[in-house]
Copies of this chain bind each other. A is one copy, B any other.
């Protein structure tokens, strides 16, 4: 039985907290959130104690922590947790600053703790099935990966301002997915982007619509399409073109009902947003971490994966600013 403590009682903290409670291999002993209202509500819902960070790190009963707090607290909490001998499950991104992430990784390298960065999409059953087909050689050598990733609507502009920008906040999931599927080192990044959804996003120095192209050492290509708005709901699709065929994973729809009438043929929309679309992915993600801690040979995304995805985001930003293809080696 793995005992957890949870940092952050917001929306994503609530998802992971609930999944710990429902998992037969784990218990949630405590949570911490400086925002008392969130902390009270979630600790009551989940039937766990509230503790300070200090208490959590000092507790002998707690084996692992879930870091779902504000982004700028992640690296600190990771370091403290590692030093206290806790395993770490951390929401993305580790930090918005590349050097800070590298520093954090170096600091914890001396400790024997297991870490996982929460790239939940790797655990979506549809994308898992797709990746397994690649691994099984069903389409031969992967030659081109296409990732379509659009949110139903942009977040509040205050969120945008603190987000680190589209590439670090939203595309980071797609960078990780591209790496997961390409299974080969990405060497160049080229980004094109604009502000078409909301002028306020542009005024805040960010973009809301983007196309990013990655290339690996052997010439495999990946393209990512992003938009902060898709009026029909969360658009999360993947195509993989290989030497012997193509794989696609489509959106998951609300239901299978279709209406045929004089006006045409209409069917249900894709599941609206990540809470619905990735509910199962979140369950599987946490379950994988728990099984990993129990010693099973389960592959999970690591701090290194978090770092690599952030480097692609940095390269994309540089590419956009300078209107050129950026080689990852330039980032040092």
Which residues of A pack against B, CB within 8 Å?
A: 22, 125-126, 129-130, 133, 138-141, 143-144, 146, 148, 150, 188, 190, 192-197, 209-211, 213, 215, 218-221, 223, 225, 227, 229-232, 235, 241, 243-270, 323-325
Does the CB pair B241–A150 fall under 8 Å? yes
Number of copies: 4
Report the Cα distance A247→B143, complex, angstroms.
Answer: 26
Q: Is the CB of B194 within 8 A of A192?
A: no
Whether A250 contacts B241 by the Cβ 8 Å rule is: no
Q: For the complex, give the distance between the alpha carbons of A144 and B212 in Å.
A: 13
Are B130 and A257 interface neighbours, CB within 8 A? yes
A260/B256 in contact, CB under 8 A: no
Interface pairs (19), CB distance under 8 Å: A129-B257, A141-B196, A143-B197, A144-B225, A144-B227, A190-B190, A195-B219, A209-B221, A210-B221, A211-B221, A229-B243, A231-B262, A245-B262, A246-B261, A247-B257, A248-B260, A264-B269, A266-B266, A324-B325
Q: How far is the CB of A270 from chain B (nearest CB, A)?
A: 8
Q: Do B269 and A265 touch across chains, with their CB atoms under 8 A apart?
A: yes
Q: Residue A129 contacts which of B209, B250, B255 (CB distance < 8 angstroms)?
A: B255
Minimum C-beta distance from A241 to chain B (A): 6
**Which residues of the partner chain B approach A247 to less than 8 Å between Cβ atoms?**
257-260
Q: How far is the CB of A141 from chain B (nearest CB, A)?
A: 8
Name A244's contact: one of B248, B261, B268 (CB within 8 Å): B261
The complex places the Cα of A143 from the Cα of B249 at a distance, in Å, of 23
Nearest chain-B residue to A241 (Cβ)?
B227
Residue of B nearest to A131 (CB): B257
- Chain B CB within 10 A, most for which of A150, A225, A251, A255: A255
What is the CA–CA distance of A230 and B244 in the complex, to the nearest angstrom?
Answer: 7
Residue of B nearest to A264 (CB): B266
Chain B hits for A188, CB < 8 A: 192, 323
Closest CB of chain B to A152's CB: distance in Å? 10
Instruction: Please give, as numbers and ranges, the residues of chain B lying within 8 Å of A323 by CB-CB distance.
Output: 188, 324-325
Told that A141-B196, A193-B221 touch, could you supply 8 new A-B pairs with CB distance under 8 A? A126-B255, A188-B323, A227-B241, A231-B262, A246-B261, A249-B257, A253-B265, A264-B269
Q: Which 8 pairs between the two chains have the least Cβ-Cβ distance?
A: A194-B219, A245-B261, A232-B260, A324-B324, A250-B256, A266-B266, A323-B325, A246-B260
Choose one: B220, B251, B260; the contact of A269 (CB below 8 Å). B260
With a CB–CB cut-off of 8 A, which chain B residues contact A144?
209, 211, 225, 227
